[in-house]
Amino acid sequence: MAAQSNDNSPGSRKMAKLVLAEKRDNGSYGFRQKIVPLDDVEDELEAAKDQS
């Protein structure tokens, strides 16, 4: 049986999928998906708020 990797190995990093909605000038919405490390979620959300 293969040895299990520890939490610090590159393949075991927890990731989060963000779906960002952007309202367009014509009233419709566009959506973007982004996958980021779990530790960076709050920073990404703050950056998205600043862009709107």
Q: In this predicted model, what pLDDT tens digit does every residue of 2-50 receive, in sequence order?
A: 555 555 566 678 999 999 898 999 999 999 999 999 999 999 989 888 8
Give the number of domains in the chain: 1
Range of the domain at 23: 15-51
The string of DSSP codes covering 20-45 is EEEE-TTS-EEEEEEEEEGGGHHHHH
What whole-number distance in Å separates Cα of residue 44 and Cα of residue 1? 39
Tell me if 46 is assigned to some domain. yes
* Whole-prediction pTM: 0.60
Res 51: pLDDT: 77
Residue 6 in any domain: the answer is no
pLDDT value for 28: 97
Residue 4 covered by a domain? no
Domain membership flag for residue 1: no
Confirm whether 43 is domain-assigned: yes
